[in-house]
Chains A and B, each alone.
Chain A
Amino acid sequence: MRNILLESLRGALTEPPPPADEEMLAELARALEQRARRRLGRSLAIRQIDAGSCNGCELEIHALNNAFYDLERFGLHFVASPRHADVLLVTGPVTKNMREALERTYAATPDPKWVVAVGDCALDGGMFAGGYACVGGVSIVVPVDLHIRGCPPAPLKLLQGLCALLSEVGTAKASALPVS
């Protein structure tokens, strides 16, 4: 077992950290200007919520934990409860049958919190927009700080978005924010 472990993990499978995406940074900056954020440092706990996705986004979010992307090296990790989370990673066009569960998960997440909407459906309902069964877009239900587009977004794209989130959270000047 030890040999198998060492063989595969020796050398550099892990990708170099991607530069934060400019467009996403701009979106975040806008979001942060509007809402006060306490400085958290470079560590965020993520809770993923499937609000009606086809499960494609989940597959790529899963991939973030593999040796190539190794999300935890950035201090980002997935947690099992919204009560432990700083970030909600929401996928899907928000089906009407999931709307209340999403609202309640958001309410259960302590402040300060960020919402990242993942995938084209999470932006505006994508191909499922306009039907009787979908609300259409996460931002209709809960405030969204960042959209990561794609169907599904590849892990590197997800990583870029999350790094952009980290760098904004990390560099937001505490003095510039209202003291509560």
Chain B
Amino acid sequence: MNILDTFADARLIENHRPWPRAIVTADGWRHAASQLAQGRWDLVALWGEQRAVHLAVRDPGANGFAVLTLECAGGQYPSVGKLHPPAIRLERTVRDLFGLEPVGLPDARPWLDHGRWDVQHPMGSREPALPMAVPYQFLPADGESLHQIGVGPVHAGIIEPGFFQFTAGGETIVRLEERLGYVHKGIEALMAGANIDRAIKLAGRASGDSTVSYAYAFAMAAEAALGIEAPPRAVWLRALMAEIERIANHLGDFGAICNDASFAIMQVQCAILRERVLRAANECFGHRLMRDCIVVGGVATDLDDAGIASLLQLMTDIGKRLPRLSELYDKTASLQDRTTGTGILSPELARQYASGGFVGRASGRGFDARKVIAYPPYDRIAFEVPMLEEGDVNARVWICIREIEQSASIIRQILEHVRQGPLRTGMTRPDEPREGAALVEGFRGDIFVWMRIAADGTIERCHLRDPSWFQWPLLEAAIEGNIVADFPLCNKSFNCSYSGQDL
């Protein structure tokens, strides 16, 4: 049964592609929250507008997607997070940015608003900020001999900022509470009113390590909205870039996780391979991270024969070296001792949070947008989605290793399939508001983009949902009962994006 069929009085919105969007009643909204809470549907995204909230859901059974909208008369709506905890941080964000109150939300604290902006509700009423920031209240932890360690927002390594409040009994972590939002740049507000070329560049700067995947998702949502299609060559080249990005990031993570267990040789070896990948990307597309290479309607740069040759050489090189590195990983007892059984994420939580990427797949949730939605060209590529049940650091490492192998195979297939042809389809002015959505598999998990394009072709509202939204909260759960010294290891094995979540 279609998701929307379960609503008695849903009003379908025209010009929303590729999935349906409907305006529902408050009762319909509560029904959706209850479906999520009962595990029948997955929460894909929850975001706001000036006078409405939107909820994107997926029905795993029927593999259907839908966007539900509730108009918020009186600036409030029934909380989804009250029944379904994965929505809590999303609703705190909607409240911070738009001033819409989720009635019944158990957590009254702000999330992205640290009391440092000049305005409150910057995308809603824009009232002047309170003269003094209210101190943030961390959740209490009671017990004998507990102590607290506050870490951040500036951390000891070359990483992004965030605050971690640990409560520990001796060495063992009893509770971790994250406080994020430090790198909130107001990207969605900057997108409003921007033309599409500027907006896709902003999307490509939501999380630098996923710059290809964000631009990819933005382009697909915009193309769905405008009813245009990228030419075949561009479709292949986009996937090529996305797989190069995936390999580069997984190599970085594999090395860095081992380094956090003091096994530096793996970091050195993986960093060499990663550098070769980035150099090949630069040779092929003119930018090491392939930033701004995907545009709405196609791609901005072409691949020549020299690029193809260097990619093939690189895949051979990785194919030769990776098995030796994974064997070294597997046979080093001191390293296995640190990663096996550490930071276990239960399959139940991964499923409840609809957690994507290697975090979900290491805990038994096999969702991969490339397979489930099979957006072109992945409908024409043979690949497997590796999955494990253990949910520990070791399982996440193995998913990364297996995904590098799969991506190398995908790259070879793409290079066989890709033919000469145009790189970009022209854009037309829509002349009426159009809406589009897309879900693209980045290295970290599925990235969701939703937008409404105004009649003049500018962005009226665009929402970007990073996979980290459904992974950060699970890190808090996975770390419980582990020792403080294993936090870097666990954190790296999740590798959530601060910037992608903070936006």
Chain A residues with CB under 8 Å of chain B are 1, 4-5, 8-9, 13, 48-63, 65-68, 78, 80-82, 92-93, 95-101, 105, 127-128, 130-134, 151-152, 154
Known: A4-B265, A55-B208, A132-B119. A66 touches B274 (CB 8 A): yes
> Cα distance A48–B161 when bound, in Å?
11
Question: In the bound complex, do residue B117 and residue A132 qualify as a contact, i.e. CB atoms below 8 Å apart?
Answer: yes
Q: Does B271 contact A (CB under 8 A)?
A: yes
Report chain A residues within 8 Å CB of B315: none
Tell me the minimal C-beta distance from B187 to chain A in angstroms: 7
Structural contact, A131 and B183, CB atoms closer than 8 A: no
Residues of B contacting A1 in the complex (Cβ-Cβ under 8 angstroms): 265, 328, 332
CB-CB under 8 A from B198, the residues of chain A are 127
Contact (A58, B160) CB under 8 Å given A97-B181, A154-B288: yes
Give A50 to B161 CA distance when docked, in angstroms.
Answer: 6
- The listed residue (A62, A80, A98) touching B161 by CB distance below 8 A is A98
- In angstroms, Cα B192 to Cα A130, docked, is 13
User: In the complex, are the beta carbons of B189 and A52 less than 8 A apart?
Assistant: no
User: A49 and B154 in contact (CB under 8 A), knowing A55-B160, A133-B185?
Assistant: yes
* B122 and A8 form a contact (CB under 8 A): no
Taken residue by residue from 111 to 125, chain B's Cβ proximity to chain A (1 for < 8 Å, 0 otherwise) reads as 010101111001000
A132: B residues at CB distance < 8 A: 117-119, 122, 186, 189
Distance in Å from the Cβ of B452 to the closest Cβ of chain A?
Answer: 20
In the complex, the chain B residue whose C-beta lies closest to that of A52 is B183
Bound together, the chains give a CA A1 to CA B190 distance in angstroms of 50
State A113–B409 Cα separation when bound (angstroms). Answer: 49
Mostly, the A contact residues are mixed
- The answer to whether A67 touches B114 (Cβ under 8 A) is no
Determine if A59 and B185 form an interchain contact, defined as CB atoms under 8 angstroms apart: no
Please give me the residue from chain B that is nearest to A3 by CB atom: B324
Report the Cα distance A68→B277, complex, angstroms.
Answer: 13
Interchain CA distance A62-B153 in the complex, whole Å? 19
Contacts of A92 in B (CB 8 A): 183
Q: Which of these, A9, A68, A97, contacts B182 with CB under 8 Å?
A: A97
A18 to chain B, nearest CB (A): 16
Query: Which of these, B278, B282, B288, B497, contacts A55 with CB under 8 Å?
Result: B497
Binding-face segment, B199-207, B381-389, B426-434: B199-207
Q: Which residues of A contact B157 (CB under 8 A)?
A: 80
Q: A59 to B291: give the CA distance in the assembly, Å.
A: 13
B309 at the binding interface (Cβ < 8 Å) = no
CB 8 Å contact bits of B234-255 with A (1 = contact, 0 = none): 0000000000000000001000
Q: Is B209's CB under 8 angstroms from A56's CB?
A: yes
CA distance A5 to B153 in the complex (A): 36
Complex Cα distance, B220 from A18, in Å, reads 40
Q: Are A52 and B289 in contact (CB under 8 A)?
A: no
